[in-house]
Amino acid sequence: MNNGRLYRRIAVAAVLLSLLAGTVLMLILGKNPFLAYYNLLQGSGLAPKAKYAAARSMWTDLSSFIDFWTPMIFAALACAVAMKTGLFNIGISGQMLVAGFLATITIGYSGLSAYLAKPLVILIGMAAGMAVGALIGFLKYRFNINEVVSSIMLNYIAEYIISFFIQTRFVDPVSRQSKNIGAAARLTLQDVAIGGYKFSIPLAFVLAVIACVLVKIMLDRTVLGYELKAVGANRTAAGYAGIRVGRSMIVSMAISGALAGLAGVSYYLGYFASIQPKVLVSTGFDSIAVCLLGSSDPVGILFSSFLIQVIAKGSTYMSSQQGLESEIVSVITGLILLFSACSAFFMGLVVSRKNAKNNTKDLRFGDEAETAPAAVTAAVNRPAEDKGGEEA
């Protein structure tokens, strides 16, 4: 069994164990866990509800879920690229905020046509996130400042500076959030009438799937991807092999930041149309669980992000139908993270047992190989001995 298949089995086991633990918790609270999990599917548009509001259906709920899912794909990819290089980008939420804010004030309020505004939103979001990510990588390489510390500090810096500008220059006096951006700059088409229903069409979702494919190709099929993974495996050995470790770290964090920037614009200028001051969205932090569950693989991330977002999106409907606190979803997500984090331990345990078994087989084969020449020699000499006996 190869390591990839083993990782997938461990990830599936982590999900099943967390759902089992959630089931036990719901039974203790006196609730029906199977009905509760079905409500999660209903709240995400994956199962029909008993009743719908006007111009709404299961398919409109599904389109809203895909819109909600899109930023998580970008955020988890950002986390995965950094992890492949042995770095931990915990500043994804801050990079999302910087990208969303800069795209909002430059393009969101500009009045440009949709054909110009939407591509510029994407480019500005990528550039803003890339700049913050590259700064973190540079600080790590040049001054050996731990990327976790610098990421957290930049999170706070971005949060309070942007909150200041929103509250002094761009605040909506009613919602106390930033003013809504223009529809032309928004990456989600709202209330698109199709067959008598109103859909939310997330344009960035296609870009998210393309990003998964491109990151997969980069990591597995390019020299750059090989260098990033080599640095993540052993920086000293990579340096001796001629790989520029500092450059790889900066490039990795820059790519990670660009993906976080895409998560930011698809969230603040897609799923939402405004920014709430003094708040860092949980998407950047939840992406760590998604990345671990997906084994830092783009294909795995596509599926793990789907699972995590189904749980997150359907929690409100489950809470309203079952009378459960919405925090139960946070417990399930936390358990998934816990079991996923333990996957490295289980992986090492299985691999060590597999290696021990192979070593035992090699020893047995070696003993047989050592006795084989003696047997051949005896077989060759026996006719001569027999012949000598007859002559005697």
CA distances from 260 to 82, 98, 133, 276 (A): 11, 10, 9, 18
Spatial contact of 77 and 96, defined as CB atoms under 8 Å apart: no
- Give mean pLDDT in consecutive 10-residue pieces for the chain, a chain of 392 residues: 70 82 87 90 92 89 96 97 95 97 96 95 97 96 94 96 96 94 95 91 96 96 96 94 95 97 97 94 90 89 92 87 78 75 70 74 54 45 47 40
Q: Which of 374, 355, 346 is nearest to 10 (CA)?
A: 346
Q: Are 96 and 281 in contact (CB under 8 A)?
A: yes
Distance of CA 138 to the CA centre of its chain: 23
Helix, coil or strand: residue 200: strand
pLDDT at 55: 86
Q: What is the pLDDT of residue 363?
A: 59
- Cα dihedral 148, 150, 151, 152, rounded to 10, equals 80
Q: What is the pLDDT of residue 124?
A: 97
The domain 53-312: what is its CATH number? 1.10.3470.10
Neighbours of 233 (CB within 10 A): 12
* Alpha carbons 112 and 129: distance in angstroms, whole number: 22
Residue/partner pairs of 112-115 with CB below 8 Å, 24 or more apart: 112/184, 112/185, 113/184, 114/183, 114/184, 114/185
**Torsion angle in degrees (nearest 10) through CA of 130, 155, 64, 272:** -90
Q: How far is CA 283 from CA 6, 317, 359, in A?
A: 28, 20, 45
φ, ψ for residue 16 (rounded to 5)?
-65, -40
